[in-house]
Chains A and B, each alone.
Chain A
């Protein structure tokens, strides 16, 4: 994955910046001239993962397009906290219409630009999980199908937070929301099918589909930048913790995003034209419990009595992802960690080649090739 390109041994490139790094190689967020697409004064809660994810993604897109970018936004927290009339936190052209039509609005903006011959200006559509997987889903599907030149970004905080934490089709099993059996001895969302939009997008064989978290900035920036190399519909799904809705500490937002990937609950991958071309490997695998216990929405799994049965089912989901996406570097990986290279040549900034993109055939690729014929 791109975040591993530079090795410093002190902090690697896991940190946002590094003083020893050549300025050209620094992340967008490390730059003093970053666009701050979402500026100060917005009313997002303390430690908001969505505000963080939106700035990470849009700043990277702004850099990739030299600032020639228009954003269409669905209704939701991101819209409400950023634009209480008459103020705006957006430092790029930005349009909001309805909850369900952001992909369609973005498609329209792209069509208008095409009609005007403005090939230099690119379009981003963005929404939370509600606006993407539920309410905006028909418009999104149409946008995919028509091949509109839009990068659609979903900031997934796994419920309708703006209206008071109601369940969405992206709410994970066992998570408690305001309307998933808040009372009784079996609170929390049911174990069901859910709606995995990254895989649905993948099945559309879009030019580019990726998942990311706010804990892996370099990976996220590289994916947004990569998405801008393509035309046509593209989709990035970013995991953004919500301290208010999840009952987590505001300081733990990045930590939780880190843990969701390290447990395997949220596979981080990228795909081009329907083929998975890269998987972000787990660095230090941890049991799902480490992730769950930081969030009050899962508190009923630990109190008043421990629900080992439910935790085991969640662990099984993580294990399946690990297997399906090939998330481990080494199949025996339990304590083993990647990056144990003693290769001293790697000292020079940039000397390291990016580790091989996971080109080996994963179960997922097998699965996809069974579904869609053999990989091209």
Chain B
């Protein structure tokens, strides 16, 4: 072609100019660990299941299946978990934490209602594992072992499965239909359950039953007895037995005025249960102050709303018929309570002791290489006791005692048992850096206050064992799920693709298929990093 006057070169595209050579730092996509996932004692991938739940409809089933990868009890979790995920949720620093627990409950209830199931190949490994204890830890271990292809038998000394979820947590927090449905789903995987079958010596039980390994999770079911001088007519009982008896045919007789001694969640449960059994007055006596109470805030608040009274900084000196003698305490500089010598009386027909729980470890007493210290069994990082092939978890090992922790132990132990059975060692994948609040650009998150679950109004809940906290419905569950900021995990918002002045971010496909950086043209300005809402891109120094 003949060129115009004074033109000697053909027209070219600026794409010939590879501006990537200007770069001193490059943008790189990363996955950071959302703080909720990091805080979850059961290791749930919360961000991921909320991501599915945000879609609604079929997304709920995907959310449910994602939870089931890490925790077989979504509906139970949505009721009894103390949700450390919400405590650590970055959104709490913006407006209010995402109501993860309430969405989990909604998803869990959908799972029960719609009969969703996970599939396993029955006993493909040929190995047999004994699980002792049908509480949350044992059931969790059984579930994961079954999914890994092992034949599992659970033995429990009690008459029903569920452990402390049945005999410790009151119905108004965990309706038994929910418990039965989620436990039943595990048994449907082909897990054997032998009830009223106490294991007295674990090593013998393994040998006699031809098992290849065992997981012990007997829980902490014995109420600690503190010495309280009591007259012969005084009515003193312990909270664990009282809550246990609630599952029997005869409800415990407590009288009109009930005092509960202790400041943990069990004390709250006992006082709230006493109210429901007809007590006019339920008083919690605790030797320290409210700030130092080990009970979870939500339990204390709900108990107070129901009319449970609190006597802080008090100890029980002695119990007499119809009354208690209390001693006032004061906190010293270190926050330790010390007696003041001031006495007072509290009218009470019964004294319920909620001073902590201990484990019945008789099943390992005769096993020389299993070490017991401070009333709990010592285990290695792989959850194995000193005896090869015998693993332990839940309340009977040193850890925080909660249902969710116990479930997490069950999962971890299952992975280690599985590896051990194959003569290998399980190595958890390395954890990513945490997606802390400062990594986010929260401008992009629309303001949206949290949807609180309705609660049964106070008068009604004082007298019934109906569930106190009602669930979300579909629309507000989705609303709540969509409040998730997806910390550290790309959620396909297209911001990087949009804000690059050099078109150096390539969109690879539909949402979810991700992006790539075209390093031929990326000048390393860092705009994509600064404008990524969720902190899923970082700048790293360029290699030269």
A residues within 8 Å of B by Cβ?
Answer: 7-12, 14-20, 26-27, 29-30, 32, 36, 38-44, 46-49, 51-52, 55, 82-89, 217, 243, 249-255, 258, 337-340, 342, 344, 347
Most interface-central of B14, B54, B443 (chain A CB within 10 A): B14
Closest residue of chain A to B483 (Cβ to Cβ) is A9
**Is B520 touching A40 in the complex (CB atoms < 8 A)?**
yes
B residues within 8 Å of A by Cβ?
Answer: 7, 9-19, 22, 54-55, 443-449, 451, 475-476, 478-479, 482-486, 491-495, 497-499, 501-504, 507, 509, 511-512, 518, 520-521, 523-527, 529-531, 533
Smallest CB separation, B206 vs chain A (Å): 50
**Is A252 touching B530 in the complex (CB atoms < 8 A)?**
yes
Closest residue of chain A to B491 (Cβ to Cβ) is A19
Closest residue of chain A to B480 (Cβ to Cβ) is A9
Closest residue of chain B to A50 (Cβ to Cβ) is B501
Give 11 A-B pairs besides A10-B484, A40-B504, A82-B14 with Cβ atoms closer than 8 angstroms.
A8-B482, A14-B445, A15-B533, A16-B494, A17-B497, A17-B498, A32-B507, A38-B503, A42-B17, A89-B14, A347-B478
**Is B501 touching A255 in the complex (CB atoms < 8 A)?**
no
User: Could you tell me the distance between the alpha carbons of A185 and B17 in the complex, rounded to whole angstroms?
Assistant: 43
User: Could you tell me the distance between the alpha carbons of A87 and B16 in the complex, rounded to whole angstroms?
Assistant: 8
**Is B448 touching A15 in the complex (CB atoms < 8 A)?**
no
User: Could you tell me the distance between the alpha carbons of A114 and B54 in the complex, rounded to whole angstroms?
Assistant: 51
**Is A339 touching B525 in the complex (CB atoms < 8 A)?**
no
Q: A12-B446, A41-B19, A51-B501 are in contact. Are A251 and B526 (CB under 8 A)?
A: yes
Smallest CB separation, A263 vs chain B (Å): 14
Closest residue of chain A to B450 (Cβ to Cβ) is A342
Smallest CB separation, B350 vs chain A (Å): 45
User: Could you tell me the distance between the alpha carbons of A258 and B476 in the complex, rounded to whole angstroms?
Assistant: 31
User: Could you tell me the distance between the alpha carbons of A94 and B530 in the complex, rounded to whole angstroms?
Assistant: 32
**Is A15 touching B493 in the complex (CB atoms < 8 A)?**
yes
Which of A8, A40, A42, A55 meets B518, CB within 8 Å? A40
Smallest CB separation, A353 vs chain B (Å): 16
**Is B529 touching A251 in the complex (CB atoms < 8 A)?**
yes
User: Could you tell me the distance between the alpha carbons of A12 and B444 in the complex, rounded to whole angstroms?
Assistant: 7
**Is B483 touching A20 in the complex (CB atoms < 8 A)?**
no
**Is B11 touching A88 in the complex (CB atoms < 8 A)?**
yes
Which of B13, B54, B504 meets A88, CB within 8 Å? B13
User: Could you tell me the distance between the alpha carbons of A252 and B491 in the complex, rounded to whole angstroms?
Assistant: 22
Which of A12, A17, A38, A251 meets B525, CB within 8 Å? A251
**Is A250 touching B12 in the complex (CB atoms < 8 A)?**
no
Q: Which residues of A contact B476 (CB under 8 A)?
A: 344
**Is A47 touching B525 in the complex (CB atoms < 8 A)?**
yes
Which of B443, B503, B509, B530 meets A14, CB within 8 Å? B443
User: Could you tell me the distance between the alpha carbons of A9 and B531 in the complex, rounded to whole angstroms?
Assistant: 18
**Is A18 touching B499 in the complex (CB atoms < 8 A)?**
no
Closest residue of chain B to A214 (Cβ to Cβ) is B499
**Is A16 touching B495 in the complex (CB atoms < 8 A)?**
yes
Closest residue of chain A to B22 (Cβ to Cβ) is A46
Closest residue of chain A to B485 (Cβ to Cβ) is A10
Closest residue of chain B to A32 (Cβ to Cβ) is B507
Q: Which residues of B contact A49 (CB under 8 A)?
A: 501
Closest residue of chain B to A340 (Cβ to Cβ) is B447
Closest residue of chain A to B14 (Cβ to Cβ) is A41
**Is A42 touching B483 in the complex (CB atoms < 8 A)?**
no
Q: Which residues of B contact A89 (CB under 8 A)?
A: 13-14
Q: A12-B444, A19-B491, A251-B529 are in contact. Are A342 and B501 (CB under 8 A)?
A: no
**Is B494 touching A15 in the complex (CB atoms < 8 A)?**
yes
Q: Which residues of A contact B451 (CB under 8 A)?
A: 342
**Is B518 touching A19 in the complex (CB atoms < 8 A)?**
no
User: Could you tell me the distance between the alpha carbons of A255 and B526 in the complex, rounded to whole angstroms?
Assistant: 12
Q: Which residues of B contact A340 (CB under 8 A)?
A: 447, 449
**Is A30 touching B501 in the complex (CB atoms < 8 A)?**
no
Q: Which residues of B contact A7 (CB under 8 A)?
A: 446
**Is B12 touching A52 in the complex (CB atoms < 8 A)?**
no
Q: A41-B19, A251-B527 are in contact. Are A10 and B445 (CB under 8 A)?
A: yes
Q: Which residues of A contact B449 (CB under 8 A)?
A: 340, 342
A-B contact pairs, 15 of them (CB 8 A): A10-B483, A12-B445, A14-B444, A15-B444, A15-B495, A16-B493, A20-B482, A29-B498, A38-B503, A40-B503, A42-B14, A87-B17, A217-B498, A340-B449, A342-B449
Q: Which residues of A contact B10 (CB under 8 A)?
A: 86
**Is B446 touching A11 in the complex (CB atoms < 8 A)?**
yes
**Is A9 touching B16 in the complex (CB atoms < 8 A)?**
no
Q: A40-B504, A41-B14, A46-B523 are in contact. Are A9 and B497 (CB under 8 A)?
A: no
Which of A38, A253, A337 meets B527, CB within 8 Å? A253
**Is B13 touching A338 in the complex (CB atoms < 8 A)?**
no
**Is A87 touching B13 in the complex (CB atoms < 8 A)?**
yes
Q: A41-B15, A51-B501, A251-B527 are in contact. Are A338 and B447 (CB under 8 A)?
A: yes
**Is B15 touching A39 in the complex (CB atoms < 8 A)?**
yes
Q: Which residues of B contact A342 (CB under 8 A)?
A: 449, 451
Q: A40-B504, A217-B498 are in contact. Are A249 and B526 (CB under 8 A)?
A: yes
Q: Which residues of A contact B55 (CB under 8 A)?
A: 20
Q: Which residues of A contact B495 (CB under 8 A)?
A: 15-17
Smallest CB separation, B359 vs chain A (Å): 44
User: Could you tell me the distance between the alpha carbons of A9 and B13 in the complex, rounded to whole angstroms?
Assistant: 41
Which of B16, B444, B479, B525 meets A11, CB within 8 Å? B444
Most interface-central of B449, B479, B504, B525 (chain A CB within 10 A): B525
